[in-house]
């Protein structure tokens, strides 16, 4: 299976390539295509990065290939990790509208090239933000089921880790999913949480303890208040310590946000989640994961079928995503997910024609 990493010399792209090789996710007969941009600074850097990877990993590396134009992208799995990124200056607000403006043209260019020159069965994993816009743009040209945004899987891994951390266990003992948007409109599906070793009643009691009497109705306000509190904290060490004291769902959203604010990036964790998906595809397995996908009524939120991009638990296989695994939700999760769907639709609508799902207008303040 050949993999192309668009934006291979970016922080996330580099980590994806390195982790693919380190984790032996690709056989030595596969081709890893490093995609840069002709005329940009990445053109020369992509060739140089190829040389560095060969230098480091010749014993175990796949075949390398450099591409500098969208129509040169040839692979079975394509990772979109290029474009503008979230700001990392302390106090710099996350401006997803600006990201959308900056990155939509890039999404569209690669979508058109793949539609024109591709094989028709590539699976595209969108990493670049806004991931929902990337998914919508790609899905509109390539087909819905071939495109998945990895944001919800990354958020899910974070959610599981925060729950595990609160319980003093390791992540692999925890199940559960994050849905919604990759960012502040993430929706922790507490109803999906499973804890290995606990039966239903024990789990319900444990989850109730973790939630400390809160429900998701106040979650957006909690996030905003937490971010304001963190921005007011001048000492980054103390800021990270403050996050430690918060409930798991709030930590899931604020810890990575704080990581960006600190000037570090979340490239390693992002790449880990991405390589998880690639590894499953390379192995030919179907897995249960979470991802931003373009829905056409496969699931219902707030009593209405969803048409548009939304992060949901899905089955992912070598041909893309298939079944959506979103059952009936408790009222607070359902309402928050509906809110996320509306806000995603508002981000996507200026760039990609909306589906027929237009939820009731409610104040999202």
> Helix, strand, or coil here: 29?
coil
- Number of residues engaging another protein in binding (CB under 8 A): 15
Residues 68, 74, 167, 268: which binds another protein (CB under 8 A)? Answer: 74
- In the complex with another protein, the residue whose CB is nearer, 72 or 332, is 72
* Residues of this chain, 116-135, that bind another protein according to CB under 8 A: 117, 119-120
Find where tokens 């993430």 sit: 186
> Helix, strand, or coil here: 190?
strand
CB of 9 to another protein, least distance (A): 18
Residue 248 · residue 165 · CB < 8 Å: yes
Which residues have a Cβ under 8 Å from the Cβ of 291 and sit 6 or more positions away?
148, 149, 150, 151, 152, 153, 277, 311, 312, 314, 316, 321
Query: Distance between CA atoms of 156 and 167, rounded to whole angstroms?
Result: 17
Residue 29 interacting with another protein (CB under 8 A): yes
Tell me which stretch binds another protein (CB under 8 A): 28-36, 245-253, 303-311, 354-362: 28-36
CB of 340 to another protein, least distance (A): 37
- In the complex with another protein, the residue whose CB is nearer, 117 or 238, is 117
Query: Distance between CA atoms of 131 and 109, rounded to whole angstroms?
Result: 16
- In the complex with another protein, the residue whose CB is nearer, 29 or 172, is 29
Tell me which stretch binds another protein (CB under 8 A): 24-32, 79-87, 106-114, 203-211: 24-32
Encoded tokens for 360: 């009731």
Neighbours of 89 (CB within 10 A): 9
Cα–chain-centroid distance for residue 259? 16
Residue 52 interacting with another protein (CB under 8 A): no
Residue 300 interacting with another protein (CB under 8 A): no
- In the complex with another protein, the residue whose CB is nearer, 197 or 284, is 284
CB of 31 to another protein, least distance (A): 6
Q: How many helices and strands, by DSSP H and E, does the chain display?
A: 11, 11
CB of 27 to another protein, least distance (A): 9
Residue 266 interacting with another protein (CB under 8 A): no
Tell me which stretch binds another protein (CB under 8 A): 67-75, 170-178, 182-190, 220-228: 67-75
Residue 31 interacting with another protein (CB under 8 A): yes
Residue 170 interacting with another protein (CB under 8 A): no
Tell me which stretch binds another protein (CB under 8 A): 59-67, 162-170, 259-267, 312-320: 59-67
CB of 4 to another protein, least distance (A): 9
Q: Where is 183: in which H helix or E strand? A: none
Q: Distance of CA 110 to CAs 10, 64, 74, 92, 175, Å?
A: 17, 20, 11, 29, 34
- In the complex with another protein, the residue whose CB is nearer, 65 or 222, is 65
CB of 128 to another protein, least distance (A): 23
Residue 23 interacting with another protein (CB under 8 A): no
Residue 2 interacting with another protein (CB under 8 A): yes
Neighbours of 330 (CB within 10 A): 12
Residue 64 interacting with another protein (CB under 8 A): yes
Burial of 50 (0-12, 13-18, 19+ CB in 10 A): buried
Encoded tokens for 161: 């880790």
> Helix, strand, or coil here: 4?
strand
Residue 67 interacting with another protein (CB under 8 A): yes
Residue 51 interacting with another protein (CB under 8 A): no
Residue 101 interacting with another protein (CB under 8 A): no
Query: Distance between CA atoms of 289 and 267, rounded to whole angstroms?
Result: 20
CB of 84 to another protein, least distance (A): 28
Q: Distance of CA 342 to CAs 2, 178, 310, 358, Å?
A: 36, 17, 10, 8
Binding site for another protein (CB under 8 A): 1-2, 29-31, 33, 63-65, 67, 72, 74, 117, 119-120
């Amino acid at each position: 299976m050949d993999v192309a990493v668009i934006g291979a010399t970016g922080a996330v792209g580099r980590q994806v390539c390195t982790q693919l090789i380190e984790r032996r996710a690709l056989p030595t007969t596969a081709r890893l295509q490093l995609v840069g941009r002709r005329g940009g600074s990445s053109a020369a850097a992509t060739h140089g990065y190829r040389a560095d990877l060969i230098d480091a990993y010749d014993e175990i590396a796949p075949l390398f290939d450099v591409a500098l134009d969208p129509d040169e992208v040839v692979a079975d799995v394509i990772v979109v990790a290029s474009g503008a990124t979230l700001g990392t200056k302390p106090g710099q607000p996350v401006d997803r509208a600006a990201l959308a403006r900056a990155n939509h043209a890039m999404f569209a260019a690669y979508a058109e090239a793949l539609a024109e020159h591709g094989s028709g069965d590539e699976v595209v994993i969108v990493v670049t933000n806004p991931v929902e816009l990337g998914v919508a743009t790609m899905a509109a040209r390539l087909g819905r089921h071939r495109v998945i945004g990895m944001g919800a899987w990354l958020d899910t891994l974070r959610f599981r880790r925060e729950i595990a951390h609160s319980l003093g266990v390791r992540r692999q003992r925890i199940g559960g999913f994050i849905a919604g948007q990759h960012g502040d409109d993430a929706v922790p599906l507490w109803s999906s949480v499973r804890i290995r070793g606990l039966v239903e009643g024990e789990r319900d009691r444990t989850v109730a303890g973790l939630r400390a009497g809160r429900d998701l109705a106040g979650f957006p306000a909690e996030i905003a208040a937490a971010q304001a509190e963190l921005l007011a904290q001048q000492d980054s060490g103390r800021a990270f310590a403050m996050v430690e004291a918060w409930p798991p769902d709030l930590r899931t959203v604020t810890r990575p946000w704080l990581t960006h604010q600190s000037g570090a990036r979340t490239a390693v964790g992002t790449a880990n989640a991405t390589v998880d998906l690639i590894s499953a595809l390379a192995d030919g397995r179907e897995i249960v994961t979470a991802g931003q996908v373009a829905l056409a009524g496969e699931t219902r939120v707030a009593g209405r079928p969803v048409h548009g991009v939304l992060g949901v638990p899905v089955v992912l296989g070598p041909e893309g995503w298939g079944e959506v695994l979103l059952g009936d939700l408790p009222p607070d999760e359902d309402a928050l997910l509906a809110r996320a769907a509306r806000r995603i639709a508002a981000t996507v609508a200026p760039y990609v024609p909306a589906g027929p799902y237009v939820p009731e207008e409610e104040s999202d303040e």
